[in-house]
């Protein structure tokens, strides 16, 4: 299949491209490199430099490459930033997604896969969180993804395309050659590893008074290669029916457990200090992954937090300053 991947130079996008190519698909990466990295783009992928704000650029990419499916990763994705600059999300993320969808539908492309988010579940009533859970976006970021999910719902209802929306929990880990390189970095595991690498003095633990076993927040860390695998499987499954999937390991680990595991793996003491809660954090976010397992036959290959951190540690040790710039 020919797959156009927006954001294929980014963290999850580039690992998905790696797996698509390994499985024999032909891939074009559409990316403006504002957050992605040239060095993350797979050597066998066609690279189309372009910005989703520019409809002509998207149309040209689609008429030139003629994809059978589009996977849409390119977006701003920081909850905190979205609280500070809501229009980067309610504006740019939504407008760019709409531009892409208009072009996709006009060119008759029938398959679309959206990167969505667990930030749709700000007030979960049942843990683990399944697809029936009430949607309460936790930020302009979550809202921007929900708006795109709703657009897809109507494009499906009007028979324009079939889609899968994959609501990621906490993507983490690395493959041999691709890993996490954000600027600024805000995610727990790479920050913890920066302390182990001597690049950061300590890790601030955002609150230890949550209603969780050790008081620190519990998250569902899912290996980026397992996430990527779900995209590949979804490509085939949506022929039958559009779907939304909550995509996590189904296992929760606290900030404290992540720290303990990282200390063991790296052999560094990784000093930490408990500070106040981070606005917007909820105590526990863990996915019920039964639906994605049953429908797609998906199963995480790296479910243990130790495997996830080990892979990230290998990548960060090999690339202490991230990708070559």
Site for ligand UDP in 190-209 (CB under 6 A): 191, 203-206
Residue nearest to ligand UDP (CB): 217
Q: Would you count residue 187 as binding ligand UDP (CB under 6 A)? A: yes
The Cα 44–Cα 90 span in angstroms is: 34
Give me the torsion for CA of 185, 186, 187, 193, rounded to 10°. Answer: 50
Binding test (CB under 6 A) with ligand UDP, winner from 54, 186, 271, 317 = 186
The Cα 181–Cα 13 span in angstroms is: 13
Binding test (CB under 6 A) with ligand UDP, winner from 278, 293, 314, 319 = 278
The Cα 191–Cα 202 span in angstroms is: 9
The Cα 313–Cα 294 span in angstroms is: 32
Site string for ligand UDP, 78-117 (x = CB under 6 A): -x--------------------------------------
Binding test (CB under 6 A) with ligand UDP, winner from 25, 72, 160, 219 = 219
3-state secondary structure of 314: helix
> Could you tell me the smallest distance in angstroms from the CB atom of residue 167 to ligand UDP?
12
Q: How many residues make contact with ligand UDP (CB under 6 A)? A: 15
Site string for ligand UDP, 20-59 (x = CB under 6 A): ----------------------------------------
Using the 8-state DSSP alphabet, how is residue 183 labeled?
S
Q: Are 206 and 255 in contact (CB under 8 A)?
A: yes
Q: Does residue 210 have an active-site annotation?
A: no
Helix (H) or strand (E) holding 1: none
Backbone φ and ψ of 71, nearest 5°: -115, 130
The smaller minimum CB distance to ligand UDP, of residues 50 and 248, is found at: 248
> Could you tell me the smallest distance in angstroms from the CB atom of residue 87 to ligand UDP?
21
3-state secondary structure of 304: coil
The Cα 315–Cα 154 span in angstroms is: 41
Site string for ligand UDP, 228-257 (x = CB under 6 A): ---------------------------x--
Q: Are 40 and 108 in contact (CB under 8 A)?
A: no
Site for ligand UDP in 134-163 (CB under 6 A): none
Catalytic annotation, pick one of 11, 89, 141, 146:
141
> Residues with Cβ < 8 Å from 40, sequence gap 6 or more?
9, 10, 11, 14, 178, 181, 323
Angle subtended by helix axes 94-106 and 140-157, to nearest 10 = 20
Binding test (CB under 6 A) with ligand UDP, winner from 281, 295, 307, 314 = 281
> Could you tell me the smallest distance in angstroms from the CB atom of residue 190 to ligand UDP?
8
> Could you tell me the smallest distance in angstroms from the CB atom of residue 216 to ligand UDP?
7
Number of residues written out for the chain: 325
CA atoms within 13 A on the CB side of 323: 22
Binding test (CB under 6 A) with ligand UDP, winner from 139, 144, 170, 229 = 170
> Could you tell me the smallest distance in angstroms from the CB atom of residue 121 to ligand UDP?
11
The smaller minimum CB distance to ligand UDP, of residues 101 and 205, is found at: 205
Active-site residue set: 141
**Which residues make up the interface to ligand UDP (CB under 6 A)?**
79, 170, 186-188, 191, 203-206, 217, 219, 255, 278, 281
């Amino acid at each position: 299949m020919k797959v156009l991947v927006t954001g294929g130079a980014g963290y999850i996008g580039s690992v998905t491209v790696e797996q698509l190519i390994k499985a024999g698909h032909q891939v074009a990466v559409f990316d403006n490199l504002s957050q992605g990295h040239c060095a993350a783009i797979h050597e066998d992928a066609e690279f189309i430099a372009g910005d989703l704000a520019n409809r002509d650029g998207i149309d040209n990419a689609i008429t030139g490459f003629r994809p059978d499916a589009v996977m849409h990763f390119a977006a701003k994705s920081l909850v905190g930033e979205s609280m500070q600059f809501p229009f980067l999300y309610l504006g740019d993320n939504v407008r760019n997604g709409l531009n892409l969808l208009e072009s996709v539908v006009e060119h008759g492309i029938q398959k679309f896969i959206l990167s969505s988010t667990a930030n749709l579940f700000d007030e979960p009533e049942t843990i683990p969180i399944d697809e029936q859970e009430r949607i309460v976006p936790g930020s302009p970021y979550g809202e921007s993804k929900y708006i795109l999910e709703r657009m897809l719902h109507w494009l499906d209802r009007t028979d324009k395309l079939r889609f899968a929306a994959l609501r990621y929990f906490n993507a983490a880990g690395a493959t041999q050659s691709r890993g996490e390189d954000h600027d600024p970095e805000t995610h727990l595991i790479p920050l913890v590893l920066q302390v182990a690498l001597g690049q950061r003095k300590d890790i601030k633990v955002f609150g230890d008074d949550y209603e969780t076993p050790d008081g620190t927040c519990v998250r569902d860390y899912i290996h980026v290669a397992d996430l990527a695998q779900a995209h590949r499987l979804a490509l085939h499954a949506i022929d039958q029916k559009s779907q939304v999937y909550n995509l996590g390991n189904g296992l929760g680990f606290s900030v404290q457990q992540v720290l303990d595991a990282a200390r063991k793996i790296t052999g560094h003491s990784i000093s930490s200090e408990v500070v106040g809660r981070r606005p917007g954090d909820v105590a526990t976010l863990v996915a019920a992954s039964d639906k994605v397992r049953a429908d797609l036959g998906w199963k995480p290959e790296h479910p243990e937090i130790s495997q996830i951190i080990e892979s990230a540690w290998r990548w960060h040790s090999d690339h202490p300053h991230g990708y070559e710039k």
